[in-house]
């Protein structure tokens, strides 16, 4: 099961992140998880939100370059090696991780957002192994 991630390209200058967050707030878009990577000229803001399509549309209307991408949100047991065990399952089938970041949600397990080069295959592998994947709707219910 995949989830939609909202990605926003923003200039790396003071106040620009606040402008993005203001647009989302004004459209009642709740941020469930975030990751920000930057270079000297721009940043890439990745978000899991309660309504990805509405968030993307609001940001585009406000002049921000925004897009949606399919990602997996995976529950990982809170034990030593829990993340490694999950990632080994997909690595065995030559699925590469493009990026990932943590997500805070309720419950006893950790959760990560992961983007792979073979999302359908990764989804199938994890499902067969009994690894729980979540949607943004699932995460929103836990918040």
> Each residue of 66-103: pLDDT tens digit?
999 999 988 887 788 988 999 999 999 999 999 998 87
Q: By the 8 A CB rule, do 34 and 44 touch?
A: no
Domain with CATH 3.30.2130.10 in the chain: 3-69
Task: Tell me the average pLDDT across 8-21.
Answer: 91
Tell me the percentage of the chain whose pLDDT exceeds 70. 92
Residue range 37-64: mean pLDDT, rounded:
92
Cβ atoms within 10 Å, residue 104: 11
- Report the distance separating Cα 91 and Cα 47, nearest Å: 25
Could you say which architecture CATH assigns to the domain 71-133?
A: 2-Layer Sandwich (3.30)
pLDDT at 59: 97
Mean pLDDT of all residues in the chain? 87
Residues of the chain within CATH 3.30.70.260 domain(s) are 71-133
In this structure, are residues 10 and 17 in contact, taking their beta carbons and an 8 Å threshold? yes
pLDDT at 14: 86
Q: Where does 3-69 sit in CATH, by number?
A: 3.30.2130.10
Name the more confident of 13 and 143: 13
pLDDT at 108 over 80: no
d(CA 41, CA 57): 24
Sign of CA dihedral 135, 96, 35, 85: positive
């Amino acid at each position: 099961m995949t989830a939609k991630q909202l990605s926003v390209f923003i200039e790396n200058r003071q106040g620009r992140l606040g402008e993005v967050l203001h647009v989302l707030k004004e459209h009642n878009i709740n941020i469930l998880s975030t990751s920000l990577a930057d270079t000297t000229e721009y940043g890439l803001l990745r978000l899991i939100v309660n309504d990805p399509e509405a968030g993307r549309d609001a940001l585009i209307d406000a002049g921000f370059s925004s897009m949606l991408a399919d990602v997996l949100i995976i529950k990982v047991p809170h034990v030593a090696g829990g993340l490694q065990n999950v990632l080994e399952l997909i690595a065995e089938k030559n699925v590469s991780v493009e990026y990932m970041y943590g997500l805070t949600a309720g419950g006893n397990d950790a959760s990560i957002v992961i983007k792979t080069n073979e999302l359908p295959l990764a989804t199938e592998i994890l499902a067969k192994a009994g690894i729980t994947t979540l949607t943004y709707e699932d995460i929103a219910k836990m918040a």
